[in-house]
């Protein structure tokens, strides 16, 4: 009887732990797209600041991670991040969040998108995979869509995001929203949706490893390419630079500035100062911000 009692207690503990794990992995969607419930969900489930949100559709919430002003021979560019708001598309793509780089032609009202990278978890976490390859051609976003809002936030000084108004306006879905995508192995949990702004294509290669790597133990020159209070946004910035990294290492440093925690996106592994300067100069020529500094020691 004593053995049976111990076994029952052990089984109860195991079931409680299993239930806790399932609760922690459950996907939570906002109860409605009204301003207050959606804002409460945003602050509870993501690390996106409300003022960075540029559009809300029934499928996804879209925000701006980083902005790079126009430079000589280069259009302004932004890194867009989105979080799924419905269960419709997750069964097709297996992604809860994604990011994509967007170049904006402000004079001609056109955009051009880079690779769209999806993640199985909220906040650009978990396994990653290519949802859609980069677009070689410019295109005009349909008025009133999330992509149009991203263009307006880049090119119009008086643009206001949905949370800056008293009444939240829901944007219409992009006409290019995919009707189907690859058939990934979907985790056994509540489904969620992610709606990339253009037709998704299945990735034939395994999902690449995350860009951010362990920081080197010694100093040396590094190139800081951005900083943000959000680690997810810093990771998205490094992910957007992946095609330019080559054999170089990229990582995120944590710094305290005036009592606030910042995540710095850093690239290292340069042969000398000239190599670091060339890398930063190439980024600036492409419209990206950066500067060369000494790396942390120790």
What CATH number is given to the structural domain containing 278?
Answer: 3.30.70.1070
The domain in which residue 270 lies consists of 221-294
Q: Note whether residue 189 is domain-resident.
A: no
Give the pLDDT score at 218. Answer: 43
User: Are 274 and 157 in the same domain?
Assistant: no
Task: Find where tokens 């396994």 sit.
Answer: 127
What was the pLDDT predicted at 231? 84
Q: How far apart are CA 240 and CA 296, in angstroms?
A: 23
Same domain, 39 and 130: yes
pLDDT for position 18: 44
135 lies in the same domain as 228: no
**Where are any strands of DSSP class E within the chain?**
53-56, 60-68, 77-84, 97-105, 110-119, 128-132, 221-228, 249-257, 260-268, 291-294
My answer on whether 142 and 239 are in the same domain is no
Q: What is the pLDDT of residue 182?
A: 33
CA distance 129 to 131: 6
For residues 31 and 139, what is the distance between their CA atoms, to the nearest angstrom? Answer: 34
| Distance (Å) of CA 87 to CA 27, 191, 194, 268 | 9, 5, 8, 40
Is there a single domain that holds both residue 157 and residue 230?
A: no
Whether 27 contacts 191, CB under 8 Å: yes
Whether residue 199 is contained in a domain is answered as no
In this predicted model, what pLDDT tens digit does every residue of 207-229 receive, in sequence order?
444 444 444 444 588 998 887 88
On whether residue 30 sits in a domain, the answer given is no
Are residues 42 and 154 located together in one domain of the fold? yes
| Residue 4 located in a structural domain | no
Residue 247 inside a domain? The answer is yes
142, 164, 186 - which closes a domain: 164
Instruction: Tell me the C-alpha to C-alpha distance, in Å, between residue 232 and each of 31, 117, 239, 242.
Output: 24, 13, 10, 15
* Judgement on whether residues 90 and 156 belong to the same structural domain of the protein: yes
Q: Is residue 253 within 8 Å of residue 266, measured between CB atoms?
A: yes
17 belongs to a structural domain: no
Q: CB count, 10 Å around CB of 177?
A: 19
- pLDDT tens across 163-180, in order? 987 677 777 665 434 333
Whether 83 is in a domain gets the answer yes
Specify whether the CB–CB gap between 288 and 114 falls below 8 A: no
The answer on 160 and 56 residing in a single domain is yes
- Model confidence pLDDT, tens digit, residues 117-133: 999 898 888 888 999 89
Residues contacting residue 213 through CB under 8 Å, at least 6 positions apart: 249, 250, 251
Place of tokens 């419905």: 86
Nearest-angstrom CA–CA distance, 93 and 85: 14
The size of the chain, in residues, is: 298
Structural domain tally of the chain? 2
* pLDDT for residue 244: 87
- Of 123, 143, 164, the residue at which a domain comes to its end is 164
Look at residues 119, 107, 111, 102 and name the one whose alpha carbon lies nearest to residue 67: 102
The per-residue pLDDT for 33 is 83
CATH code where residue 159 lies = 2.40.128.710
- Identify the bridge partners of residue 250 per DSSP, sorted by sequence position: 212, 267
Same domain, 247 and 143: no
Q: Which of 164, 187, 211 is the last residue of a domain?
A: 164
In a domain, 270, yes or no: yes
- Burial bucket for residue 90 (CB in 10 Å: 0-12, 13-18, 19+): buried
Low-confidence ranges of the chain (pLDDT < 50): 1, 3, 6, 9, 11, 13-24, 175-218, 298
Q: What is the pLDDT of residue 209?
A: 44
């Amino acid at each position: 009887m004593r053995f049976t009692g111990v076994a029952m207690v052990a089984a109860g503990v195991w079931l409680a732990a299993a239930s806790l794990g399932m609760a922690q992995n459950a996907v939570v969607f906002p109860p409605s797209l009204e301003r207050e419930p959606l804002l409460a969900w945003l602050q509870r489930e993501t690390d996106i600041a409300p003022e960075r949100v540029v559009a809300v559709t029934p499928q996804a919430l879209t925000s701006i991670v980083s902005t790079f002003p126009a430079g000589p021979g280069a259009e302004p560019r932004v890194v867009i991040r989105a979080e799924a708001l419905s269960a419709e598309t997750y069964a097709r793509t297996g992604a809860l969040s994604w990011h994509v780089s967007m170049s904006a032609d402000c004079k001609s009202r056109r955009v051009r998108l880079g690779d769209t990278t999806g993640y199985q978890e909220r906040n650009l976490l978990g396994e990653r995979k290519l949802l859609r390859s980069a677009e070689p051609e410019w295109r005009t976003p349909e008025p009133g869509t999330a992509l149009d809002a991203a263009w307006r936030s880049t090119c119009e000084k008086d643009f206001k995001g949905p949370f800056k108004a008293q009444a939240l306006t829901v944007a219409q879905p992009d006409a290019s929203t995919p009707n189907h995508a690859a058939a990934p192995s979907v985790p056994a949990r509540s489904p969620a949706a992610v709606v990339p702004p253009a037709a998704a294509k299945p990735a034939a290669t395994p999902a690449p490893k995350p860009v951010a790597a362990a920081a080197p133990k010694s100093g040396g020159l590094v190139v800081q390419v951005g900083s943000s209070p959000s680690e997810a946004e810093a990771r998205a910035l490094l992910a957007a630079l992946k095609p330019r990294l080559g054999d170089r290492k990229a990582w995120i440093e944590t710094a305290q500035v005036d009592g606030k925690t910042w995540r710095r996106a850093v690239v290292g592994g340069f042969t000398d100062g000239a190599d670091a300067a060339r890398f930063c100069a190439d980024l600036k020529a492409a419209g990206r911000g950066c500067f060369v500094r000494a790396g942390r020691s120790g």
